[in-house]
Amino acid sequence: MVNKNFKNITKGVLSLEEIKKFPGYPSEERFKKGAVAVIECIEEIPCNPCETICSRKAIIVGNPITNLPRFIDEDLCTGCGNCVIKCPGLAIFVINKKFSKKEASIALPYEFLPLPEKGTKIIGLNRKGEEVCQGSVYKVLSNKAVNHTNVVTIVVPKQFADKVRFFKVLN
């Protein structure tokens, strides 16, 4: 079955409204509870490493393998971020809208060198690569286990948590 939402993609960029319709996007209620995986995987491609890696069985793909990844129980997800590393599409982020009163954290896969350092000032980029806000690097995870898919956690003003998906270093 061809996904009906597929036809909405014209320039490779989905709007937030469209992406929120997919089953890997957590609910606002879940976001209120803290860090959670945000899965921006919207096409029925045969792929399930996110399900395989999830020790909490929070992410389900099931059979057939082309099912979109979804949460059965969003509360099972602890926001551990293992799926961020393993997703071949680099389509999973861990977002914590409760990071602080005014800020949210976004953990994203980052496969570029040099790696930024903690505290580095950044500009948050949206799904189209447009600059939307400023922020800073909170954490950089880079070790043998991530196997070159490093995880950089950035902190941005809360209202941009659903928008920012990449960053560039502020010069």
Q: Would you tell me which residues interact with another protein (CB under 8 A)?
A: 2-3, 6, 9-14, 40-49, 52-53, 64-66, 86-91, 111-112, 125-130, 147-149, 165-166
| Residue with Cβ nearer another protein (98 or 127) | 127
| Residue with Cβ nearer another protein (32 or 128) | 128
| Residue with Cβ nearer another protein (44 or 74) | 44
Instruction: Supply the minimum distance, in Å, between the C-beta of residue 113 and another protein.
Output: 8
Residue 114: asked if its preceding bond is cis (omega within 30°), the reply is yes
Instruction: Supply the minimum distance, in Å, between the C-beta of residue 131 and another protein.
Output: 9
| Residue with Cβ nearer another protein (5 or 98) | 5
> Is residue 167 within 8 Å of 155, Cβ to Cβ?
no
Residue 122, classified by CB atoms within 10 Å of its CB into exposed (0-12), middle (13-18) or buried (19+), is buried
Instruction: Supply the minimum distance, in Å, between the C-beta of residue 29 and another protein.
Output: 26
Residue 60's φ and ψ, nearest 5 degrees, are -120, 130
Task: Choose among 93, 62, 92, 58: nearest CA to 76.
Answer: 58
Q: Quote the radius of gyration of the chain (alpha carbons, Å).
A: 15
DSSP 86-118: H-TT--EEEEETTSSSSEEEEEEEE--SSPPPT
Instruction: Supply the minimum distance, in Å, between the C-beta of residue 130 and another protein.
Output: 7
| Residue with Cβ nearer another protein (3 or 27) | 3
Count CB-CB contacts under 10 A for residue 75.
12
Instruction: Supply the minimum distance, in Å, between the C-beta of residue 31 and another protein.
Output: 20
